[in-house]
Amino acid sequence: MASLDRIRTKGFRHWYERQLVECHAWLLSWFLGLIVLISGVELVGGSGLDHRGGALLLGAGLLVTLYSWRRYRLMLEIAERLGEQAVCPGCKAYAKFSVESSGPRPMPDGGDFVLEGQSGGIWLRARCRKCGDEWMIK
């Protein structure tokens, strides 16, 4: 995932903040799609061009709401999951780590992301900048 490179280059806090901004932009997109969908529902009851236009709006609104909601949930889930693990186990410093290695797969401990149900198999090997402790974020 390209956006994970931001953790390496700009730090976890910047990535986390950016992730939440993008995620809520998808929530706004979901809301706008919902307005389009409801407009389509109102027009679909009409006749002639209104009926066809309403069906088109309804379909487009449905696609936008479904896709936006999925993106919102996925991005929020990843941000929450990584955020919960961004605490150094040694000194309890939050988000003060550098990324030693990362990837979608395979995980260094041999784990299988499909079996372990991890979204996209994202993992990071983090090293604390304060105490030097290392841990896995997955």
The span of 32-40, 67-75, 111-119, 122-130 binding Zn ion (CB under 5 A) equals 122-130
Nearest by Cα to 103 from 75, 124, 134: 124
The span of 15-23, 44-52, 92-100, 119-127 binding Zn ion (CB under 5 A) equals 92-100
Alpha-carbon span 99 to 49, nearest angstrom? 56
Cα→Cα distances 34→49, 68, 135, Å: 21, 10, 42
* Site for Zn ion contains 89 (CB under 5 A): no
CA torsion 88→134→19→107, rounded to 10°?
A: -140
* Site for Zn ion contains 14 (CB under 5 A): no
Q: Based on CB atoms, which residue is closest to Zn ion, 28 or 131? A: 131
The least CB distance from residue 92 to Zn ion, in Å, is 7
Q: Yes or no: say if 121 and 107 are a contact pair by the CB < 8 Å rule.
A: yes
The least CB distance from residue 66 to Zn ion, in Å, is 42
Query: Under the rule (CB under 5 A), what is the footprint of Zn ion?
Result: 88, 90-91, 93, 128, 130-131, 133
